[in-house]
Amino acid sequence: MHELMQYFSLYQSGVGRNSMLHQVPMRHLIQVRLLFAKSGIKVKVRFRGPRAHNRGRGVNTRSSTCLKNDAVTFAVYRD
């Protein structure tokens, strides 16, 4: 685990945050998932960025959700 967090130290969440990593660029998604899987830690990934596909959704829902296709970054939470 220490090795994993050292590799992604630029994206480590600060004290008082619920996420383990945040603002990680989408290009690292597969690598992050593989590293957590190898370490045996179950995580949730939440995508962040603009929501282009807003059909039939209210303003609050659009701002709190993001599809993988639209994501610019993601955050990692312990499951």
Strands 21-25 and 73-78, by their bridges, are antiparallel
- The span from the CA of 35 to the CA of 1, in Å, is 9
Q: Contact 24/15 with Cβ under 8 angstroms?
A: no
pLDDT tens readout for residues 45-54? 999 887 666 5
Give the global pTM.
0.74
The full set of domain ranges for the chain reads: 2-78
Give the pLDDT confidence score for residue 40 in this predicted structure. 92
- Give the residue with greater pLDDT, 77 vs 4: 77
- 69 and 26 Cβ atoms separated by less than 8 Å: no
